[in-house]
């Protein structure tokens, strides 16, 4: 269901009692946490219980598992997840009672009122770059507020209501949310057509990013990761508006450039050069060239916000990864298991590059869950081609999320595009038994990578437990 954004979005402190439909999700939980830290009365519901739901309860929210009209209680404002359906009983009740009803984007804007917002946008790398920027500003002593689309271990949370000037926000383009915000500054990591079920065409998707740049304050700045042509193409538009533009990346056109990359010990180090001057070396605890580019975007924004290079570099060094972004789940029987949210061909390719470096002489065994019928229809072949960088590939059924099944769009579209020997390409078992299938396929020294934006993330802990049981019984 599409909930319209009101012309006037009130500051969070003026919303009264706030009820969040889908409070256990990444986006709404961040909004809820910031509101709680500011002393706002927060309640909410979710379809399923979770650790995140219980953490919010410990922080003072009233939470309910299951959704019903009575859950609204004394709510004055209802904020709903993007995935909410029109027949959700809490939405029906909110409309019947004439309550203030905000989509997720308006809810986030309400907590950003009064701050100078640095919005991080891009098809890939938003969560990582937002997390890195928040970490850099924290280490610089600037106490930023931030809202991130996943829990970040080194920060201990996915959101915080800081006392400083800056508010670092992950700006999601999937439903047009980033066109609601009014940022002082922005970072664009890349522009690579996605979410075409919403935008329709690659051209419309690219135009949305141009409109996003138009929303940045003329007094602010824009950091572009110019290794990506889509991001680089925004420079002329930004400069035409008088924005300060900082080009970051690995290529020669970057003003803030990473050089001398070294990947070792599960991390990456590189030298940062700004307009020909060496600023020093940065060491990341996450592997892969794409994370270096994310770090450069975050570093550029941190420097523009007033952080010193030394403080920003320390913040980047402290970052250990966000949940489901090449996250190490554990090890058993000599097999290491990683989990990643990657669901687009470019993201798959980047994470497989990192996995190959981590695996060393071992094999990379990938289990991929395609996400959404519409995305699989458009990118299924490209997904399979990207997965071909692995040694063994398992492709599960398509995760439907907000869409209905289509008999013509199945995981076979992906499997058939994988250019590996047939014996190394497998149809995935039911997720309940996928851990057993992967344990049978993996051998000592291998790295298993779980990929997808759906519920394949539930497999990782079970797989590690199974591998450890095997090791104990050998």
Please provide residue 324's backbone torsions phi and psi, each rounded to the nearest 5 degrees.
70, 20
* pLDDT: which is higher, 157 or 342: 157
From CA 95, how far away is CA 244, in angstroms rounded?
43
Tell me the C-alpha to C-alpha distance, in Å, between residue 425 and each of 119, 209, 415, 418. Answer: 40, 37, 7, 7
Tell me what the pLDDT averaged over the chain comes to: 92
Tell me the C-alpha to C-alpha distance, in Å, between residue 26 and each of 49, 249, 254, 451. Answer: 14, 28, 33, 18
In this prediction, residues 403-414 reach a mean pLDDT of 85
Please provide residue 153's backbone torsions phi and psi, each rounded to the nearest 5 degrees.
-60, -45
Q: Is the pLDDT of residue 113 over 70?
A: yes
Residue 170 appears among annotated catalytic residues: yes
SS3 content of the chain, % helix, strand, coil (to 5): 40, 25, 35
Give the active site residue among 64, 82, 127, 263.
127
- Helix (H/G/I), strand (E/B), else coil: 467: helix
**What are the start and end residues of each CATH 3.40.1190.10 domain in the chain?**
114-318
Q: Is the pLDDT of residue 57 over 80?
A: yes
What is the pLDDT confidence band of residue 474, given thresholds at 50, 70 and 90?
Answer: low
Q: Is the pLDDT of residue 194 over 80?
A: no
Check residue 60 and give its pLDDT. Answer: 96
Residue listed under structure tokens 């100078």? 116
**370 near 414, Cβ under 8 Å?**
yes
* pLDDT: which is higher, 92 or 453: 92
Pairs from 373-376 (Cβ < 8 Å, separation ≥ 24):
373/398, 373/400, 373/403, 373/404, 373/405, 373/406, 373/409, 374/196, 374/197, 374/403, 375/194, 375/195, 375/196, 375/197, 375/343, 375/344, 376/409, 376/410, 376/411, 376/413, 376/414
- pLDDT tens by residue, 269-278: 999 999 999 9
In terms of Cα–Cα distance, which of 164, 197, 161 is closest to 60?
A: 161
| Tokens read off for 10 | 């009130």
Check residue 192 and give its pLDDT. Answer: 81
**303 near 280, Cβ under 8 Å?**
no
Check residue 90 and give its pLDDT. Answer: 97
Please provide residue 230's backbone torsions phi and psi, each rounded to the nearest 5 degrees.
-65, -40
Check residue 195 and give its pLDDT. Answer: 63
- pLDDT tens by residue, 14-27: 999 999 999 998 88
In this prediction, residues 440-466 reach a mean pLDDT of 92
From CA 352, how far away is CA 385, in angstroms rounded?
12
From CA 201, how far away is CA 18, in angstroms rounded?
36
CATH homologous superfamily for the domain 114-318: Mur-like, catalytic domain (3.40.1190.10)
Q: Is the pLDDT of residue 375 over 90?
A: no
Please provide residue 308's backbone torsions phi and psi, each rounded to the nearest 5 degrees.
-75, 160
In this prediction, residues 111-134 reach a mean pLDDT of 95
Q: CATH classification of 327-473, choosing from 3.40.190.10, 3.40.50.2300, 3.90.190.20, 3.40.50.150? A: 3.90.190.20
> Strands (DSSP E) along 300-422, which ranges?
327-332, 335-340, 364-368, 392-395
Cα-trace Rg, the chain: 22
- pLDDT tens by residue, 287-343: 788 889 999 999 999 999 999 999 999 999 999 876 667 788 899 989 999 998 888
Residue listed under structure tokens 């990473």? 258
Please provide residue 348's backbone torsions phi and psi, each rounded to the nearest 5 degrees.
-60, -45
From CA 119, how far away is CA 126, in angstroms rounded?
9
The answer for 294, left when phi > 0, alpha when psi is -120 to 50, beta otherwise, is alpha
In terms of Cα–Cα distance, which of 291, 282, 439 is closest to 367?
A: 439
What is the pLDDT confidence band of residue 266, given thresholds at 50, 70 and 90?
Answer: confident
Check residue 196 and give its pLDDT. Answer: 66
Please provide residue 301's backbone torsions phi and psi, each rounded to the nearest 5 degrees.
-65, -40
Give the active site residue among 126, 327, 396, 457.
126
| Tokens read off for 448 | 């298993």
Q: Is the pLDDT of residue 449 over 70?
A: yes
Check residue 50 and give its pLDDT. Answer: 86
Residue 458 appears among annotated catalytic residues: no
Check residue 429 and give its pLDDT. Answer: 67
- Helix (H/G/I), strand (E/B), else coil: 468: helix
Q: In the CATH scheme, what is the code of domain 12-104? A: 3.40.50.720
**124 near 228, Cβ under 8 Å?**
no
Check residue 323 and give its pLDDT. Answer: 65
**What are the start and end residues of each CATH 3.90.190.20 domain in the chain?**
327-473
From CA 277, how far away is CA 270, in angstroms rounded?
14
Residue listed under structure tokens 């991130």? 148
| Tokens read off for 61 | 């929210």
- pLDDT tens by residue, 378-388: 889 999 999 99
Residue 128 appears among annotated catalytic residues: no
**What are the start and end residues of each CATH 3.40.50.720 domain in the chain?**
12-104
From CA 9, how far away is CA 246, in angstroms rounded?
31
- pLDDT tens by residue, 344-373: 888 898 889 888 888 888 999 999 999 888
In this prediction, residues 30-38 reach a mean pLDDT of 97
Give the active site residue among 81, 90, 170, 336.
170
Q: What global pTM score does this model have?
A: 0.80
What percent of the chain stands above pLDDT 70?
98
- pLDDT tens by residue, 388-406: 999 999 999 888 877 778 8
């Amino acid at each position: 269901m599409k909930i319209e954004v009101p012309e006037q979005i009130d500051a969070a402190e003026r919303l009264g009692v706030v009820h969040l439909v889908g409070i256990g999700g990444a986006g709404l939980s961040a909004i809820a946490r910031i509101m709680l830290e500011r002393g706002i009365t927060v309640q909410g519901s979710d379809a399923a219980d979770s650790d995140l739901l219980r953490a919010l309860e410990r922080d003072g929210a009233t939470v309910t598992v299951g959704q019903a009209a009575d859950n609204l209680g004394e709510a004055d404002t209802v904020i709903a997840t993007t995935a909410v359906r029109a027949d959700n009983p809490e939405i029906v009740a909110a409309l019947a009672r004439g309550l203030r009803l905000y989509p997720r984007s308006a809810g986030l804007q309400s907590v950003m009122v009064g701050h100078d917002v640095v919005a991080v946008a891009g098809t890939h790398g938003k969560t990582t770059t937002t997390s890195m920027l928040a970490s850099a500003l924290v280490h610089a002593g600037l106490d930023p507020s931030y809202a991130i689309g996943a829990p970040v271990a080194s920060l201990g949370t996915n959101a915080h209501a800081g006392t400083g000037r800056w508010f670092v926000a992950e700006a999601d383009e999937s439903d047009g949310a980033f066109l609601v915000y009014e940022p002082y500054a922005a970072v664009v990591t890349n522009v690579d057509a996605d979410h075409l079920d919403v935008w329709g065409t690659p051209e419309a998707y690219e135009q949305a990013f141009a409109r996003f740049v138009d929303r940045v304050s003329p007094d602010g700045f824009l950091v572009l990761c110019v290794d990506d042509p889509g991001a680089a193409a925004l420079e002329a538009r930004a400069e035409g508006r008088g924005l300060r533009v900082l080009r970051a990346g690995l290529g020669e056109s970057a003003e803030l450039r990473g050089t001398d990359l070294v990947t070792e010990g599960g991390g990456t180090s590189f030298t940062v050069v700004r307009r020909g001057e060496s600023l020093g070396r940065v060491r990341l605890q996450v592997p892969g060239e794409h994370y270096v580019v994310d770090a450069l975007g975050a570093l550029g924004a941190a420097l523009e916000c007033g952080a010193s290079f030394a403080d920003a570099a320390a913040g980047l060094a402290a970052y250990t990864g966000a949940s489901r972004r090449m996250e190490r789940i554990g090890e058993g029987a000599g097999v290491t298991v990683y989990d990643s949210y990657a669901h687009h061909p470019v993201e798959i390719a980047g994470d497989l590059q990192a996995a190959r470096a981590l695996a060393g002489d071992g094999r990379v065994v990938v289990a991929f869950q395609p996400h959404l019928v519409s995305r699989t229809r458009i990118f299924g072949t490209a997904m399979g081609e990207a997965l071909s960088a692995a040694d063994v590939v398992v492709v599960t059924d398509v995760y439907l999320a907000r869409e209905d099944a289509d008999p013509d769009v199945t995981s076979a579209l992906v499997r058939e595009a994988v250019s590996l020997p047939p014996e190394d390409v497998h149809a995935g078992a039911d997720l309940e038994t996928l851990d057993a299938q992967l344990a049978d396929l993996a051998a000592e020294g291998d790295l298993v990578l779980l990929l997808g934006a759906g519920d394949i993330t539930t497999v990782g802990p079970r797989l590690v437990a199974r591998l450890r049981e095997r090791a104990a019984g050998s």
